[in-house]
């Protein structure tokens, strides 16, 4: 009996051990599967982030390159249009000179014709008539001298007429050359404008891709903030040392008072994550005026790869305002501007996917909330 009971116990223990050995591998296998799933999700997210960063870099690089070409084309077009206006002025002056010369030449031609008609009417004057009409040798020499002077005067008139005809022909040739130059310049402008339109269309398409790609948009915002930080040292170098006496600033957009994106570390409306915003965005139509928030000196006006067309104004006391993403600049570095003066036009250049004014206020280079400086009474 004892042997039978011992056998039964041993059988039960063996069964328990066998079942335990089967459960442990199954549990471990499940955990391994979960771990692999988590690792796969992590790898997918890392790849998505890497792909997004790569797309962002590629698109940003393409946009920067195209916008540099646009900036260069706009400068060339402006220079060509200046040359065209100068050429038109030269053509107008050439036409006036040509008219004056033709009038002068006509007067001298008429005088010469009158002289010839008189000579024809009075008969030919020659040596024989002078000899026969002279009372003595002295009279003959006197008459001969008069005739010689008449011939010399006529020859001089003819010589002057020839010179003036030559000048007239030269003026006509210059006028033809100027008109041909004008046609070439105007053709160049049209070609540049066509290229400009193509580049702007390509930029708009690429910015639409960024706007619809969260990973790319996130990277672009980070790049813009890096550029904003990089401006701190530049502002400190450029700003003056005078006091700020301007008081409350005026609203910087003539067309809109709607703040589409506030200052600070705010929840991004598209990405749904917190991102730092170094100024305020004012939604406004493209081409509307951007106004100087206060009187000051323009310390920077030009192209920036992230801010696009950008203006910075020093107001004294370490206060500098910044206006970004404009379509056109109306001021240059060193200009003294007054409060409310139009300094640029609203656009969407640089790292921007739609028309708006990005407005910043810096105190000794550091970001400030612009709404603490501008007059709120003008805002809706």
| Domain ranges (residues) in the chain | 62-211, 214-378
Diameter over CA atoms, the chain: 193
The DSSP bridge partners found for residue 303 are 309
Please provide residue 233's backbone torsions phi and psi, each rounded to the nearest 5 degrees: -65, -35
Q: How far is CA 343 from CA 4, 268, 302, in A?
A: 105, 29, 12
**Tens digit of pLDDT at every position of the chain (380 positions):** 545 555 665 566 565 555 555 554 555 565 566 555 555 655 565 565 566 656 666 766 776 677 777 777 777 777 777 877 877 777 777 777 767 766 766 666 666 666 656 655 555 555 555 555 555 656 555 655 655 666 566 666 666 666 666 766 777 777 777 777 777 877 777 877 777 777 767 776 766 666 556 666 676 677 777 778 778 888 888 888 778 878 899 999 999 999 988 998 876 655 566 778 899 999 999 999 999 999 999 999 998 878 989 999 999 999 999 999 999 999 999 999 999 999 999 998 887 878 999 999 999 999 999 999 998 655 54
CATH class of the domain defined by 214-378: mainly beta
Whether this prediction's pTM lies above 0.85 is answered by no
Q: How far is CA 57 from CA 52, 67, 195, 222, 308, in A?
A: 8, 15, 24, 12, 17
- CATH number attached to the domain at 62-211: 1.10.287.620
């Amino acid at each position: 009996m004892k042997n039978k009971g011992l056998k039964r116990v041993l059988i039960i223990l063996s069964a328990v051990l066998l079942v335990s050995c089967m459960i442990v591998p199954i549990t471990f296998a499940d955990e391994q599967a979960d771990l692999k799933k988590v690792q796969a999700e992590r790898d997918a997210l890392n790849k998505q982030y890497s792909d997004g960063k790569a797309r962002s870099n590629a698109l940003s690089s393409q946009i920067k390159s195209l916008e540099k070409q646009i900036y260069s084309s706009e400068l060339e077009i402006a220079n060509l249009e200046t040359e065209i206006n100068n050429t038109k002025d030269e053509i107008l002056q050439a036409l006036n000179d040509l008219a004056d010369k033709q009038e002068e030449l006509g007067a001298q031609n008429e005088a010469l014709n009158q002289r010839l008609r008189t000579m024809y009417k009075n008969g030919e004057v020659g040596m024989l008539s002078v000899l026969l009409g002279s009372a003595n040798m002295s009279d003959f020499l006197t008459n001969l001298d008069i005739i010689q002077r008449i011939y010399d005067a006529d020859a001089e008139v003819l010589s002057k007429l020839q010179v003036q005809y030559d000048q007239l022909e030269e003026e006509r040739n210059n006028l033809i050359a100027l008109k041909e130059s004008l046609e070439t310049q105007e053709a160049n402008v049209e070609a540049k404008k066509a290229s400009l339109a193509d580049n702007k269309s390509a930029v708009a398409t690429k910015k639409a891709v960024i706007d619809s790609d969260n990973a790319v948009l996130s990277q672009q915002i980070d790049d813009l903030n890096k550029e904003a930080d990089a401006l701190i040292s530049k502002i400190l170098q450029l700003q003056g040392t005078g006091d700020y006496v301007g008081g409350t600033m005026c609203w910087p957009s003539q067309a809109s008072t709607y703040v589409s994106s506030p200052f600070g570390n705010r929840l991004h409306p598209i990405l749904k994550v917190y991102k730092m915003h170094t100024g305020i965005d004012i939604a406004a139509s493209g081409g509307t005026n951007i106004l100087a928030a206060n009187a000051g000196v323009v310390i920077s006006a030009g192209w920036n790869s992230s801010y696009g067309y950008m203006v910075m104004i020093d107001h004294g006391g370490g206060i500098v305002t910044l206006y970004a993403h404009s379509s056109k600049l109306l001021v240059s570095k060193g200009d003294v501007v007054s409060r409310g003066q139009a300094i640029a036009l609203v656009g969407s250049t640089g790292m921007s996917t739609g028309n708006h004014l990005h407005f910043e206020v810096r105190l000794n280079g550091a970001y400030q909330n612009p709404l603490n400086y501008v007059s709120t009474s003008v805002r809706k």
